[in-house]
């Protein structure tokens, strides 16, 4: 018979019990080994059944198995049976001592069992780690020393709009806007040469990133470094914080603007007035503060309801904004109270002219759910620096002048200097 060649090292297993079965499983998973036969006196042994399932020749007699395998060069016999005569029979067939048996096989079997257990534990750990990486809500991106993307989990795919296949091997700067995109490689090289970094080890650093569609968005980044197999890698954990930033902006807006009219509130108005006063002091200008309270608002609010009152306030706010200059400011500071800051007003006459324009704008009927409604306004005016030099004092003086206008018949304006004149009469 011609010498037979195999794709792996030829092996004959004698004994198809638990040890032989474990050995067969291991050898079938290794391309370097080719099991050419399995022998056991028990035709129902688990190893015999497994060998038949995989097309491996089986034998009920060890001597016949040895004879059947004698034409395989360098065949190694693993004797897991309790028959000590196998070694002599193999010597007669192969002419040398190539049988592993007894304690030698027992030790080998224990080593195989331990390796299988360790392999199983490693596979389980790898599967668990991969499952965590795949299902975590944050994006996880890994790059090498050259800045090339090596890992890109599903969350990162969702955040940036790229598939893993589209980014693996490409430079990380793909995900950055300018000027960071052009500067990224130099940042990385500087760190590799000097170990100086602004990002590594920093938790939750806010940066700007770019999606596949070109949209820039705010992102939170935590970056770290690791060594694996002698190679250096960088891991970034990223989170899209667009919704959080929008919420923060909304909260900040609500802190400074009226929720109903979207006009500045009292706090922001005082900041604006402080700035206007500082600018007027440098340029030797005048600033007018107008405090207006609506006339007739309560009757509409009580008759048509609060929804109608809210709609009226919104219409009044719009008319005032359309009347004043872009450089001027109007704020809602109470239910139906408004304060205006008029920069570089030049004179009392110009302030009175602005007040009259507002009153004229309010004189036109306002449609509230199909019903025309009318309101007026009483306006008090104080002037910087003629009346006072502090924002709080100017607002207080304009408020006092507004009450004088109401006492004088409403729908009119008065200056604070008129309040002073009335007091002097008393």
The Cα–Cα gap between 398 and 418 comes to: 11
Q: Quote the CATH superfamily of domain 9-113.
A: NAD(P)-binding Rossmann-like Domain (3.40.50.720)
HEC string of 23-36 equals HHHHHHCCCCEEEE
Strands 231-240 and 139-144: antiparallel
The pair of structure tokens assigned to 95 is: 């002419």
**9-113 against 257-425: fold identical:** no
CA contacts within 13 A on the Cβ side of 127: 6
- Ordered per-residue pLDDT tens for the chain, 426 residues: 344 445 688 888 988 988 888 888 888 887 888 899 999 999 999 999 999 999 999 999 888 888 888 888 688 888 888 777 887 788 888 776 567 766 666 676 677 677 777 777 777 777 776 776 667 788 999 999 899 999 999 999 999 999 999 999 999 999 999 988 888 888 888 888 887 766 676 677 899 999 999 999 999 998 888 888 888 899 999 999 999 999 999 998 989 999 999 999 999 999 999 999 999 999 999 999 999 999 999 888 888 888 999 999 999 999 999 999 999 999 999 899 999 999 999 899 999 999 999 999 999 999 887 888 889 999 999 999 999 999 999 999 999 999 999 998 888 999 999 999 988 876
pTM for this model (two decimals): 0.60
Interacting residues of 52 by C-beta distance below 8 A, sequence separation 6+: 58
Q: CATH code for 136-241?
A: 3.30.450.20
Angle, helix 242-256 to helix 266-283, in steps of 10 degrees: 70
- DSSP character for 222? E
DSSP code string of 306-357: HHHHHHHHHHHHHHHHHHS-TT-EEEE-SSSEEEEEESS--SHHHHHHHHHH
Domain boundaries, the chain: 9-113, 136-241, 257-425
Question: What does each C-alpha distance from 155 to 130, 134, 139, 221 come to in angstroms?
Answer: 13, 7, 5, 14
Q: CATH code for 257-425?
A: 3.30.70.270
């Amino acid at each position: 018979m011609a010498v037979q060649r195999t794709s792996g090292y030829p092996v004959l297993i004698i004994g198809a019990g638990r040890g032989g079965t474990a050995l067969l499983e291991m050898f079938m998973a290794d391309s370097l080994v080719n099991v050419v036969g399995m022998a056991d006196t028990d035709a129902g042994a688990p190893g015999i059944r497994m060998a038949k399932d995989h097309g491996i020749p089986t034998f009920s007699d060890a001597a016949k198995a040895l004879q059947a395998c004698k034409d395989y060069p360098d065949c190694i016999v693993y004797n897991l049976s309790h028959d000590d005569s196998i070694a002599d029979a193999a010597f007669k067939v192969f002419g040398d001592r190539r049988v592993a048996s007894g304690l030698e096989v027992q030790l080998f079997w224990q080593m195989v069992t331990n390796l299988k257990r360790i392999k199983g534990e490693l596979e389980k750990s790898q599967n668990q780690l991969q499952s965590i990486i795949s299902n975590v809500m944050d994006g996880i991106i890994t790059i090498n020393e050259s800045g090339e993307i090596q890992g890109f989990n599903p969350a990162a795919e969702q955040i940036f709009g790229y598939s893993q296949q589209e980014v693996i091997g490409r430079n990380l700067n793909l995900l950055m806007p300018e000027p960071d995109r052009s500067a990224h490689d130099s940042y990385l090289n500087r760190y590799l040469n000097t170990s100086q970094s602004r990002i590594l080890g920093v938790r939750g650093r806010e940066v700007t990133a770019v999606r596949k569609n070109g949209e820039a968005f705010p992102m939170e980044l935590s970056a770290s470094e690791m060594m694996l197999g002698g190679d250096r890698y960088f891991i970034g954990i990223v989170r899209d914080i667009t919704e959080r930033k929008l919420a923060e902006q909304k909260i900040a807006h609500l802190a400074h603007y009226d929720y109903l009219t979207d006009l500045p509130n009292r706090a922001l108005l005082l900041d604006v007035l402080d700035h206007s006063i500082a600018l007027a002091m440098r340029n030797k200008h005048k600033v007018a503060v107008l405090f207006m309270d609506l006339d007739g608002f309560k009757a509409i609010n009580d008759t048509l309801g609060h929804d109608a009152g809210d709609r009226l306030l919104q219409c009044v706010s719009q008319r005032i904004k359309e009347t004043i200059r872009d450089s001027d400011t109007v704020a809602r500071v109470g239910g139906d109270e408004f304060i205006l800051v008029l920069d570089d007003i030049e004179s009392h006459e110009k302030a009175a002219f602005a007040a009259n324009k507002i009153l004229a704008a309010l004189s036109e009927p306002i449609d509230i759910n199909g019903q025309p409604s009318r309101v007026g306004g009483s306006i008090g005016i104080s002037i910087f620096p003629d009346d006072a030099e502090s924002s709080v004092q100017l607002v207080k003086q304009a408020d006092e002048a507004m009450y004088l206008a109401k006492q004088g018949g409403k729908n009119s304006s008065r200056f604070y200097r008129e309040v002073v004149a009335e007091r002097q009469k008393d």
